[in-house]
Chain A
Amino acid sequence: SQQGEEDPQALSIQEGENATMNCSYKTSINNLQWYRQNSGRGLVHLILIRSNEREKHSGRLRVTLDTSKKSSSLLITASRAADTASYFCATDHNNAGNMLTFGGGTRLMVKP
């Protein structure tokens, strides 16, 4: 079953602004992974953050994880039109053998 909940469901910003997407989950995790999906295409892996980590960076991406609140956030700084896509969080639970449960996704539109 889908466990992750993402908000907002849709986000529209101007190029250059920052975009923040949030993900919540219900049961303990081994790690949490963020993905990007351009329209109708496959998923691109962005970042994996483990349960004992609180923050990770990759280029303009910053992911935080708060296991006490069972939530994570993805921040894209200085957004570009090319960042327009759907963003999904996916949780890997301790007893699931790397099986992922996906959130509903956030559709991000960056206007030039």
Chain B
Amino acid sequence: SAVISQKPSRDICQRGTSLTIQCQVDSQVTMMFWYRQQPGQSLTLIATANQGSEATYESGFVIDKFPISRPNLTFSTLTVSNMSPEDSSIYLCSASGTPTYNEQFFGPGTRLTVL
């Protein structure tokens, strides 16, 4: 299985600021994704992080609010921009698609609180 790490694990931020979350996979993967989990809810896909090109966003999510980078096959970042209290959530990255498996594995998540 792939081992995925995220930084930071949690943060408390002020309204109007931005936070960049990093996701590192221990092996090369085809696909990387970013999800949001609001308190007490299930996961919602924000976007697919495409290596070397712009991310593919789901309905309700836009690049200006959630810019994503994926410079190589093992690393991605998600920025939550101009934050408001409604952005308080757990943000999770995931990865799938190696030569040996296509299960999707998740990082430990970043718990974001916006005051």
Taking Cβ atoms with an 8 Å cutoff, the residues of A that contact B are: 1-2, 31, 33, 35, 40-45, 48, 88, 90, 92, 97-105
Contact = CB atoms under 8 A, between A and B. Distances in A.
B35 to A, nearest CB: 8
B104 A45 contact: yes
B42 A2 contact: yes
A2 B102 CA distance: 21
Contacts of B43: 43, 88, 90, 100, 102
Q: How large is the interface on B (under 10, 10 to 19, 20 to 34, 35 or more residues)?
A: 20 to 34
A48 B103 contact: yes
Interface in B1-50: 1, 30-31, 33, 35, 41-45, 48
Given A40-B109, A100-B43, 16 more contacts: A1-B59, A33-B104, A40-B111, A41-B108, A42-B107, A43-B94, A45-B1, A45-B103, A88-B42, A88-B43, A90-B43, A99-B45, A99-B48, A100-B45, A100-B104, A105-B42
A93 to B, nearest CB: 12
Contact of B42 (A98, A99, A104): A104
Nearest to B45: A99
A interface: dominant SS: strand
A58 to B, nearest CB: 12
A104 to B, nearest CB: 5
B103 A33 contact: yes
22 contacts: A1-B59, A2-B42, A33-B103, A33-B104, A35-B106, A41-B108, A41-B109, A42-B92, A42-B107, A45-B1, A45-B105, A48-B103, A90-B104, A98-B102, A99-B31, A99-B33, A99-B45, A100-B33, A102-B43, A102-B44, A104-B41, A104-B42
B63 to A, nearest CB: 17
A42 B44 CA distance: 14
A45 B101 CA distance: 12
